[in-house]
Amino acid sequence: MRAGGDASAHEDALLSRVYQQIAEVREPHFAAGYDLRTGVDTYQAWLGEHTEAAASVTPAAEGGQTSTADVTMPLRAVVTQPGEWNAELAVIELYSLQYKSLVRLAAVLVRDTSTAEEVVQDAFIAMHDGWHRLKDVEKALAYLRQAVVNKSRSVLRHRMVVEKNAPKPAPDMPSAEHGAMALLERSAVIAALRDLPERQREAIVLRYYADLSEADIAAAMRISRGAVKSHTARAMASLKAALEQDA
């Protein structure tokens, strides 16, 4: 132990107060001299460069065929009459029914909630843009899942590159989402999942977490059913081995 540790602890407390008080005294003076307008303008210019083009949300041209009366129909009815639904209603309906489960799916793949939400929102935008190719709810949902899986993959790829040469990111304050994720992360299964190869992890997550059938997984991952079977089987074997090792 360092000699005089107690004394320096006392001095640390003292100096913390000094720093807080200096900040309290000086901050308002510095703040008063701030040109907030210019600051906001600079920031908005940057935001503008990084904001999605608003044009990507314009309805598809085929929307013109759908009468505006559809908007007043109950949503459930809209979905049961696939010929008549338009992009907005499809997005609203699927968003309300599937958003949470898709975020959970993406969260397991990309391992953080806020990115997961972005991934899912991007998927909905993509579905909105391509809605005229989708003829029924099942297809739209499969499309969404596939978009979520694809986008999660590219997030992970991008993250690997960024992590390799990025400076230390500023830590977030803990939030409710973080608490929830931390809880997830503590689980041994998640830890074991993380060590799996990417495709195996996707197959397992889609099978047991999103509860998809083999055929749906094959469609979402764009691989054959046989490949789904072998990915799932190998993943299960690795997980079993990993969890038995831990126990």
Partner 1 sequence: MVGDDHKITPHDAAELAACFEAHGRRLFGFACVLARGDRALADDLVQATFKAAAQVWQTLRGMAEDQLRGWLRSTLANIAASGFRREAAFGDRLPQLEERYRDTTADPCEQAFSPIALERCWRIITEMPKGQHVVAVLRWQLGMKEAEIAAALGIAESAVSAQLHQARRKLIEQLGPDHPFACDGPEGESS
- Give the binding range for partner 1 (CB under 8 A) out of 8-16, 76-84, 207-215, 229-237: 8-16
Q: Are 187 and 246 in contact (CB under 8 A)?
A: no
Q: How far is the CB of 122 from partner 1 (least distance, A)?
A: 8
Task: Residue 142: name the closest of 210, 85, 82, 196 by CA.
Answer: 210
Rg (CA), the chain: 25
Cα separation of 117 and 107, whole Å? 8
Neighbours of 86 (CB within 10 A): 22
Nearer to partner 1, 106 or 218 (CB): 106
Cα within 13 Å of Cα(41), Cβ side: 4
Among 66, 113, 152, 238, binds partner 1 (CB under 8 A): 113
Q: How far is the CB of 104 from partner 1 (least distance, A)?
A: 15
- Give the binding range for partner 1 (CB under 8 A) out of 17-25, 131-139, 142-150, 188-196: 17-25
Among 61, 69, 160, 176, binds partner 1 (CB under 8 A): 176
Contact between 20 and partner 1 by CB under 8 A: the answer reads: yes
Q: Are 149 and 221 in contact (CB under 8 A)?
A: yes
Contact between 175 and partner 1 by CB under 8 A: the answer reads: yes
Chain residues 141-160 in contact with partner 1, contact rule CB under 8 A? 154, 158
Token pair 């997550």: residue: 205
Cα separation of 81 and 83, whole Å? 6
Q: Binding residues for partner 1, per CB under 8 A? A: 2-4, 6-12, 14-34, 36, 39-40, 42-44, 46-48, 50-52, 54, 113-114, 117-118, 121, 154, 158, 162, 167-173, 175-178
